């Protein structure tokens, strides 16, 4: 079974993936979860990481800390007062649940009244097999600049800790085809929730979690004292021991 077939099965079953985090650091650390960019995602503009999913582990603490990730894809449309770029906050709180082969339409308004965009599912249309399609209406880029109302699109997944995904500058009359890739980055760097970050920088300094790393829909990511990462299939030893003790009781 190839990657996209596994993704379809997880989506159909409503499965949930869990990334357990273990910290061996001598300092308090905040860990962030990011979603990797799909191989097919032609937006016509630069793509930025966007995440609100984080958790903090104190030095010497051994909590059962994890990112719970339902296999549910999300789209969002948002207009803001600043051009889309690094360090800009773009909210995804009003994201929509989407399925493979859905077609969605983002309608952006560029007038001086700063109307919020609409995001609706297109009935009677079907995306290319194993894809999601995200369309935009036609609008005048000059009006965007003149009225300082910049449209953006976001794609990702909603974890128990918040959105993980990516955001880009919406282009007029564009059809963005997305073939989902279930691959994550776990980082201990300093980020701000909902603030756009560089995907390449994140991927170069993070633990990489592939779908193939999961066992029993779980994977354990350990942050070592020297700053390296260790990724192992399944739940951490402590979590397994706690489960066994509960079962015996």
Residues making up the chain, counted from first to last: 249
Residue 238 has a pLDDT of 58
The rounded distance, in Å, linking the Cα atoms of 164 and 157 is 5
Do 218 and 43 form a contact (C-beta atoms < 8 A)? no
Residue 112 has a pLDDT of 96
Query: For residue 13, what are its two tokens?
Result: 């079953």
Residue 242 has a pLDDT of 52
Q: Could you tell me the pTM of the whole model?
A: 0.92
Do 21 and 221 form a contact (C-beta atoms < 8 A)? yes
Query: Going by C-beta distance under 8 Å and a sequence separation of 6 or more, which residues neighbour residue 207?
Result: 185, 186, 187, 221, 223, 229, 230, 231
Task: Please give the biggest Cα pair distance in the chain.
Answer: 68
The rounded distance, in Å, linking the Cα atoms of 38 and 55 is 25
Do 38 and 132 form a contact (C-beta atoms < 8 A)? no
Tens-level pLDDT at each residue, the chain (249 residues)? 899 999 999 999 999 999 999 999 999 999 999 999 998 898 989 999 999 999 999 998 888 899 999 999 999 999 999 999 999 999 998 899 999 999 999 999 999 999 999 999 999 999 999 999 999 999 999 999 999 999 999 999 999 999 999 999 999 999 999 999 999 999 999 999 999 999 999 999 899 999 999 999 999 999 999 999 999 999 997 555 554 454 455
The rounded distance, in Å, linking the Cα atoms of 44 and 31 is 31
Do 121 and 157 form a contact (C-beta atoms < 8 A)? no
Do 192 and 86 form a contact (C-beta atoms < 8 A)? no
Backbone angles phi, psi at 127, to 5 degrees: -75, 165
Computed over its alpha carbons, how large is the radius of gyration of the chain? 19
* CA distance to 21, 53, 176, 194, per residue, from 66 (Å): 6, 10, 32, 19
Residue 240 has a pLDDT of 54
Residue 248 has a pLDDT of 55
Do 117 and 151 form a contact (C-beta atoms < 8 A)? yes
Residue 94 has a pLDDT of 87
């Amino acid at each position: 079974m190839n990657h996209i077939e596994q993704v379809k099965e997880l989506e159909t079953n409503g499965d949930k993936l869990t990334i357990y985090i273990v910290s061996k650091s001598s300092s308090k650390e905040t860990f962030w979860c990011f979603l990797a960019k799909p191989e097919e995602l032609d937006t016509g503009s630069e793509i930025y990481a966007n995440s609100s999913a984080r958790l903090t582990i104190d030095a010497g603490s051994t909590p059962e800390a994890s990112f719970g990730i339902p296999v549910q894809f999300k789209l969002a449309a948002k207009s803001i007062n600043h051009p889309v770029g690094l360090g800009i906050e773009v909210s995804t709180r009003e994201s929509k649940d989407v399925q493979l082969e859905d077609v969605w339409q983002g309608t952006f308004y560029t007038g001086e009244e700063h109307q919020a965009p609409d995001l609706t599912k297109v009935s009677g249309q079907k995306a290319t097999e194993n894809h999601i399609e995200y369309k935009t209406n036609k609008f005048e880029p000059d009006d965007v600049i003149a009225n300082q109302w910049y449209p953006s699109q976001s794609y990702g997944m909603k974890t128990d800790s918040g959105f993980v995904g990516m955001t880009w500058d919406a282009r007029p009359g564009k059809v963005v085809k997305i073939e989902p890739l279930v691959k994550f980055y776990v980082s201990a760097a300093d980020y701000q929730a909902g603030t756009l970050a560089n995907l390449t920088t994140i991927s170069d300094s993070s633990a990489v979690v592939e779908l193939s790393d999961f066992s029993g829909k779980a994977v354990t990511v350990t942050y070592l004292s020297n700053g390296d990462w260790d990724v192992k299939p399944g739940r951490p030893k402590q979590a397994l021991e706690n489960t066994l003790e509960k079962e015996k009781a």
